[in-house]
Amino acid sequence: MKLRSDDRHWGTIAKSFHWIVALAILGNGVFGLCMDLASNPMQKINWLALHKSIGLTVLALMLLRLAWRWPDGRPREEPAPRWQLIAARATHAMLYLLALALPLSGWWYNSVTGKPLQFFKLFNLPGIAAKDDALRHFSHAVHEYLFWFLVLVLVGHVGAALKHHVFDGDDVLRRMLPFGKLRNDKTQAGERP
């Protein structure tokens, strides 16, 4: 397994960022939606603190992912109609944008409520906006709607990956799976492609 991506494979680091960020966002989103199930106010406060810390972790991982993505290679695109290639690029750009906007909107919401923002009880982060009760509900709605929009885009992303895998029989999905083996991949057998 290679660390860096090449013209046929996503590298181990790119794959790791992809799956860790995806699972963290989805898990933290479900966790955020379940906050009202807390059995008492103290538990809800602790869950909310954990939700915020995971969100900040997602933001840090996305920034690292972007820093890694810039110099890393990328597999060449599978042959497809031009509209599909454009749709794939637009979807990926939207996923990156939403994965950054979602934790930033949570930070903004936390800031306008005037509450402290701790990172796993290790240190506090400053607010990115002044306390503003008039923006409290609006900022929360933005945060929540960004999550649902991300889920919608993600459904399209996963659907397209499955379409490539099941109907097209190409390597789009296999290249991103942690242990995905490409069809006719001679480099895995030690041969030159």
Look at residue 183 in the predicted model and tell me its pLDDT: 76
pLDDT in tens, 59-74: 999 999 999 998 998 8
pTM, two decimals, is 0.88
pLDDT in tens, 8-27: 889 999 999 999 999 999 99
CA distance 88 to 161: 10
Supply the Cα-derived Rg of the chain in whole angstroms: 20
Query: Does residue 4 have a pLDDT over 70?
Result: yes
pLDDT in tens, 34-58: 988 989 999 999 999 999 999 999 9
Query: Does residue 121 have a pLDDT over 70?
Result: yes
Buried b (16+ CB within 10 A) or exposed e, 33-66: eeeeeeeeeeeeeebbbebbbbbbbbbebbeebe
Look at residue 78 in the predicted model and tell me its pLDDT: 82
Look at residue 38 in the predicted model and tell me its pLDDT: 87
